[in-house]
Amino acid sequence: MHKYAIGVVGASGYSGIELCRVLAAHPGVDVRFVASDRWEGVTVRAKTGIGGSVGGLSYVPHAQAVGAAHGCAAVLLATPAEASLELAPQLLERGVKVIDLSGAFRLADGSAYPRHYGFEHRHPALLAHAVYGLPEIEDRKAIAAARLVANPGCYPTAAALALVPLLRAGLLADEAIVVDAASGVSGAGRQASEAYSFCEVADDVRPYKVLRHQHTPEIAQSLARGAGKPVRVTFTPHLLPIKRGILSTASARLAPGARAAALAETLRAAYRDEPLVEVLDAPEQVAIARVAGTARASVAVAVAEAGFDPGRVVVVSAIDNLLKGAASQAVQNLNLVLGLPERMALEPAPGVSP
């Protein structure tokens, strides 16, 4: 079997480690290099325990990544948005396809970056060429033909998988949607700060970045594409005292004249041929433990036909933030870009780290 040469930049972060772990067992790729400033010169095996040829690679600094990518078909960037903004154009100029796990190319409107990401977008022309990589609800042919894939954020993935099929079917009223979601601590990355230390996080749940989280415009963008019109959305993230996983609860209202039973029917029809998304019978069945360590998502919907708020729709979804919310989704997109079977190396479950 022909193997495509690839590289991973930002390979010492949680998502980067997961990429290396999944790719180490991928029969269709040959990982030529891994880049990390913090672990320069050390082998992947020494830092992560990953075996095989990937485990034998030594990390090169980010400054050498573009040169190391010579001859590669694609490079995955598990880097902060500012770093991706610097590296992606250089790789693209050399004919290397890019799967970017940061938010650097997710938003179609370049003017939104100063407010939501804190920097001016220096390559706004690339935003028109970047393809949003959520295969289950986006155009797979467009992803496969892309030179630059913007891998979705973890919270937007959970929200979009739950809501987009219902919006496309016109089943939700033209009212604001409220998304409350909770994530494990790994969603914050490898931050050595007091706020994410064990004593601060353990036995506690708290909201953060209320009404100012950088994923909010991405969620709104995905929902608007699904609905074919702007969608008002309020997103509130919460920090859970666990390592990984996201549980997202979206609240909306049934569209006038829509059948309550059509909600579950629509989700099942949308994901009938999508093995990585399971539609469950009731929201109470959706749980982080069900998807942690896997490339899968779970989703379920309920609607109040009577009671205190008739017509209220609640859609609950769960993903592993490091896999379906980052690394496994990036490999899913990589497979499409390289013309490989989409779920190659993603089934059975990739495993858990950390």
Strands 246-253 and 4-9: unpaired
Q: Active-site residue among 20, 72, 154, 199?
A: 154
pLDDT band at 200 (very low <50, low <70, confident <90, very high): confident
pLDDT of residue 350: 65
pLDDT of residue 191: 65
Q: In CATH, what is the architecture of 4-151+326-338?
A: 3-Layer(aba) Sandwich (3.40)
Rounded Cα–Cα distance for residues 334 and 25 (Å) = 14
Residues 13-21: what's their mean pLDDT? 97
CATH topology of domain 155-319: Dihydrodipicolinate Reductase; domain 2 (3.30.360)
The amino acid present at 299, given as its one-letter code, is V
Residues 75-97: what's their mean pLDDT? 98
Q: How many residues does the chain have?
A: 354
The answer, yes or no, to whether residue 352 has pLDDT greater than 60, is no
Q: pLDDT digits over 286-321, tens only?
A: 999 999 999 999 999 999 999 999 999 999 999 999
Residues 64-82: what's their mean pLDDT? 98
72 is a catalytic site residue: no
The answer, yes or no, to whether residue 196 has pLDDT greater than 90, is no
pLDDT of residue 323: 98
Residue-range domain boundaries for the chain? 4-151+326-338, 155-319
The answer, yes or no, to whether residue 172 has pLDDT greater than 80, is yes
pLDDT band at 347 (very low <50, low <70, confident <90, very high): confident
pLDDT band at 349 (very low <50, low <70, confident <90, very high): low
Rounded Cα–Cα distance for residues 96 and 102 (Å) = 17
User: Which of residues 199 and 88 earns the better pLDDT score?
Assistant: 88
- Name the DSSP letter for residue 99: E
- What is the pTM for the complete model shown? 0.96
